[in-house]
A and B are shown apart, each in its own frame.
Chain A
Amino acid sequence: MKSLLDACCERCTHTPEKPCQDYLFCRTEGPICHDDSSCQEKRKQFIEQKRAKTSGSKRILICAGTGCASLGAVSIVQALSDELEKHGLTDRVEVVPTGCHGFCEQGPTFIIEPEGTLYVKVSLEDIPEIINEEILNGKRIERLLTVNSTTLQTTTQFNTNSFFEKQERVVLKNCGFIDPKSIEDYIINDGYKGFVKAVQNLSSDEVIEEVKKSGLRGRGGAGFSTGLKWSFCRQAPGDKKYIICNADEGDPGAFMDRGVLEGDPHSVIEGMLIGAYAIGADEGYVYCRAEYPLAIQHLEVAIAQAEKIGLLGDNILNTGFNFRLEIRQGAGAFVCGEETALMASIEGKRGMPRVRPPFPAQSGLWGKPTNINNVETWSNLPHILRNGADWYGSFGTEKSKGTKIFALTGQVNNTGLVEVPMGTTLREIIFDIGGGIINNRKFKAVQIGGPSGGCLPEELLDLQVDYETLTKAGAMVGSGGLVIMDESTCMVDIARFFLNFSQSESCGKCTPCREGNKRMWEILDRIVKGQGEMEDLERLESLAMVVKDTSLCGLGQNSPNPILSSLKYFRGEFEAHIKDKKCPAHVCTALLTYFIEVDKCKKCGLCAKNCPVNCISGDKNNPYVIDSSKCINCGTCQDKCKFGAVIKQ
């Protein structure tokens, strides 16, 4: 028996070719097709070894998600495997390239089981030491460990590290802890149990009731009740129905769905199986952006594995339920994350949203009732079915149940993927889990919800993250991108950045989004260049309101949010750019003035030597001076000065 999915002996009657309700149960708890305690023991031992629970065995979980892979994790996996082989350790030490651990800032990361030792920033040079110390001598390697930012103690186990300690990993439970390319690993970790429970013990309506009861709301941004959405599609007349997984994650800085697809693709398939059964769909699509090659690869492997053992296809587990799943790759248009554009794209048309109604539940893909949820929503479902709606409802707030994954990026110490119960405050996420701002600089704002979200200031750090609270504050949960900004960020410049994104990603169909976003960007561009006038602010605000009020789809309806929230919370900065022609964060090049402090100038001449426009004069006897009428504000003099004499204002 090389795999859990192999028969224990020739007496086993379970094969994927003969669909049977007990197939998975036989493989994990069995055998149940024949009675033999030695066979049972064989299975038990196999599973324990896989969980690194037999004495002396170890599993080295190496993050090989896109982030760590770009930091060299793939060659580390190879080198470590070679080294283990050289030492003859392959029998008791398993190297598992996993999906994302979430601790991207510290990658490549290792978690060594059974102890749960967390090593960070591991490089090729550390491998011999890991073999000699950790594996052979059972000693920890101090310099690869982390320090808990609260207790300031060195932590050995990942779950005592401040980054992981306060997280509640439900959807990310398997991410980084199983081999995403192994259906066996998924099944050992209770995989497909939620689906088996649904398809064998519950009617379709009971599944929908359970999902409704759990309080799960769409994790793609809008936060609509998942159970309710399913019931619309189930009730829609029609014998052909589709379900779709929206994996066209495109917000700048957001990579939650990529993390799930790379690290736990089977959870998405299981979620979709549950949904298809509940809704009455027999075909599904995963629409994933082509920029996620690893996620697509892992999903392809997972689909093939599920097909092979009869979890996808016809008469699944002899229940009469059929379901087929295909991947469609998006060509890189942000708007294809909008459900009607996404369906148009699957149909081979230009990815352009259409007006709703009809909603996809009535008329979706090829005019058939269709249900769309995003990756994170789908991968919540196995947990809800497995552990029950009440268990799920124990996380979160009254109206926003469960957990939410956030992608922490920007000027925060611990960038990465974090999962917290709904209702956790921004402060907890950014400071406790995220470890605060880089170089202890002052926090300024957090952009939440991507280009459709808003920028929230320090005063709102104690805001609970849930659908209602954030919408009230002018932002949105969105898909879960959190871009942290410190005092060196100019809010006008950031608003311009997001508007540039929205205006270039607009599909061009409706007037307000196509033309309005461009004009808002132009106004912001004038302001950062010092050409703004006070009436521009008024125009910006009124145009933003109209674009929000009249655009066809969510892209246009939400693209003004970064402007409106910034104007609400950081209006002073806009006014400084316009009235004083100054950028308080010293970011907007056109509004900067460079000068040299006479006291600090050592008259070395490096600034003048490197100035590309020769606007700095001075010599050994006279301190250097910048001619601001010629200066192009490139900042080279400041970079070159060793004495901090060049100041920008």
Chain B
Amino acid sequence: MSTVTLNIDDRKVTIPAGTTVLEACRMNNIPIPTLCHDPELTNSGSCRLCVVEVEGMRSLSPSCVTVATQGMQVKTNTRRVKEARKTVLELLVANHPLDCMTCQKMGDCSLAQYAYEYGVKDDVYPGERRNVCLDDSNPFIVRDSNKCILCGKCVRVCEEVQGRSVLDFYQRGFESLVGPAFGSDLSQSDCVLCGSCVSVCPVGALTEKQMIGKGRPWEIKKVQTTCPFCGTGCSFDLNVKAGEVIGVTSNPEAPVNGRALCVKGRFGTDFIHSPNRLTAPLVKKDGEFVEVEWDEALDLVASKLRAIKSEYGADSIAALSSAHCTNEENYLMQKFMRAVIGTNNIDHCART
């Protein structure tokens, strides 16, 4: 593999050819702030927070889209760079609601973190602030465009990872917004509510509705688990506060799915603490469901199946198995039907 050697902040750094200056810095623990960059998405180079000084360049260079070249001289920490980054943050803060105390993203907000690091004050640019309606139209995602910093990560993840292209920019200049076509709500769009946009949002513009008010990042314990909804085997982090699952966040390290999840996995765990959830087998006795032991329940099913089979034949019995189960369980189900019951009447909910 060919490498290039460049100079970052008077340090000699050797990296694989084709690496961006941002990656080169991060490989060498040189901090660079970013808002629109995501390693899994194409680079838009639009937030302009990652700018660095490259010798020979007239303007500051966005490090996320600048490929490092042999002998390049990069400065990441000059006054000019710091001033520019601070100004970019001041501009973003000037058009961002400062209701951090009640914001679901508090403690996990990149804008707040950088504003703190760069000593940004909120009164540098008094003037108009965006004031648009909240999109609260669906059960899972709250979209607050007033908090949006237009980094475009949600737009790119929707297009590049999910292939849906539900979100895009609309209107121009200061009036620019991100949303579904014609400024409609998510519920009126083709959105499948996979929540990938929520997983990449660096601020509180896209949040999980179910988790609002349920816990702060520092109160939450993340427990990695495998999704119970189908056999794909996605894993994610259950967000647990005081022994209660309050929601799910995807984990970029998940081996099967990375950050991607479907609507069920990301937003469907509310059944865990549901009072309607069945936790023991029920058998109807005298017209009423009565809680029984597993042995009793299984004996009842076995005797009924046997009776039906002997009276009407094996083909009078059919089974429909579920995507909730693992592949192994589904295998066993068909084996049971064919070898034990003696019928081919077996189907699966995900077959169609």
Contact = CB atoms under 8 A, between A and B. Distances in A.
B172 A518 contact: no
A522 B47 contact: no
A536 B137 CA distance: 42
Interface in B47-76: 47-49, 51, 59-60, 62, 65, 67
B128 A509 contact: no
A297 interface: no
Category for how many chain A residues contact B: 20 to 34
A372 interface: no
A517 B59 CA distance: 18
21 contacts: A355-B45, A504-B172, A507-B169, A507-B173, A508-B175, A510-B46, A510-B47, A511-B47, A512-B88, A512-B91, A514-B173, A514-B174, A515-B91, A515-B174, A519-B91, A539-B124, A549-B51, A549-B80, A550-B48, A550-B51, A550-B87
Contact of B173 (A350, A505, A552, A557): A505
B16 to A, nearest CB: 18
A80 interface: no
A81 to B, nearest CB: 45
Interface in A502-535: 503-512, 514-519, 522
Contacts of B91: 511-512, 515-516, 519
Given A508-B150, A515-B174, A546-B88, 20 more contacts: A350-B170, A354-B44, A508-B171, A508-B174, A508-B176, A509-B176, A510-B45, A511-B91, A512-B87, A512-B88, A514-B173, A515-B95, A518-B128, A518-B174, A522-B125, A543-B87, A546-B87, A548-B59, A549-B59, A549-B84
Nearest to A333: B172
A518 B46 contact: no
Contacts of A268: none
Interface string B183-194: 000000000000
A546 B173 contact: no
Contacts of B168: 350
Nearest to B65: A355
B197 interface: no
Contacts of A335: 172
Nearest to B125: A519
A507 B60 contact: no
Interface in A550-576: 550-552, 557
Contact of A355 (B62, B149, B174, B175): B62
A205 B159 CA distance: 41
B83 interface: yes
Given A350-B169, A519-B125, A511 B88 contact: yes
Contacts of A506: 172-174
Contact of A522 (B92, B128, B149, B169): B128
B2 to A, nearest CB: 19
Interface of A: 333, 335, 350, 352, 354-355, 357, 503-512, 514-519, 522, 539, 542-543, 546, 548-552, 557
Contacts of B175: 508
A355 B150 contact: no
Contacts of B261: none
Nearest to A556: B48
Contacts of B59: 548-550, 557
B43 interface: yes
Given A333-B172, A506-B174, A518-B173, A550 B65 contact: no
Interface of B: 43-49, 51, 59-60, 62, 65, 67, 80, 83-84, 87-88, 91-92, 94-95, 124-125, 127-128, 149-150, 152, 168-176
Contacts of B149: 511
Contact of B46 (A333, A542, A552): A552
B119 to A, nearest CB: 16
Contacts of A549: 51, 59-60, 80, 84
Contacts of A508: 150, 169, 171-176
Given A350-B169, A549-B59, A518 B80 contact: no
A517 B43 CA distance: 24
Contacts of A551: 48
Nearest to B35: A511
B44 A509 contact: yes
A349 B328 CA distance: 46
Nearest to A509: B46
B306 to A, nearest CB: 65
Residues of B contacting A: mostly: loop
Contacts of A355: 43-45, 62, 65
Contacts of A539: 124
Residues of A contacting B: mostly: helix
A514 B91 CA distance: 9
Contacts of A352: 169
A505 B49 CA distance: 22
A516 B92 CA distance: 9
B89 to A, nearest CB: 9
The 7 closest A-B pairs by CB, nearest first: A508-B176, A515-B91, A355-B45, A506-B173, A518-B174, A522-B127, A546-B87
Contacts of B150: 508-509, 511, 514
A331 to B, nearest CB: 11
A517 B88 contact: no
A122 B274 CA distance: 86
A408 to B, nearest CB: 29
A514 B125 CA distance: 14
Contacts of B88: 511-512, 546, 550
Nearest to B64: A355
A550 B174 CA distance: 17
A112 to B, nearest CB: 47
Contact of A552 (B45, B67, B127, B171): B45
B293 to A, nearest CB: 63
Nearest to A503: B173
A511 B152 CA distance: 11
Contacts of A519: 91, 94, 125, 127
A596 to B, nearest CB: 38
A470 B35 CA distance: 37
Contacts of B65: 355
A589 B138 CA distance: 49
Contact of B48 (A354, A507, A522, A552): A552
Contacts of A507: 169, 172-173, 176
A546 B83 contact: yes
Contacts of A512: 48, 87-88, 91
Contacts of A514: 150, 173-174, 176
Contacts of B48: 510-512, 550-552
A354 B65 CA distance: 11
Contacts of B152: 509
A333 B87 CA distance: 27
Nearest to B58: A549
Nearest to A546: B87
A551 B47 CA distance: 9
Contacts of A552: 45-46, 48, 62
A51 B316 CA distance: 98
A504 B94 contact: no
Contacts of A350: 168-170
A539 B176 CA distance: 24
A519 B80 CA distance: 20
A333 B176 CA distance: 14
A550 B172 contact: no
A511 B51 CA distance: 12
B171 A546 contact: no
B172 A542 contact: no
Contacts of B170: 350
Contacts of B80: 549
Contacts of B45: 354-355, 510, 552
A518 B130 CA distance: 12
Tell me which of A350, A505, A518, A542 has the highest count of chain B C-beta atoms within 10 A of its own C-beta.
A518
B60 A511 contact: no
Given A355-B43, A511-B92, A522-B125, A504 B173 contact: yes
B93 to A, nearest CB: 10
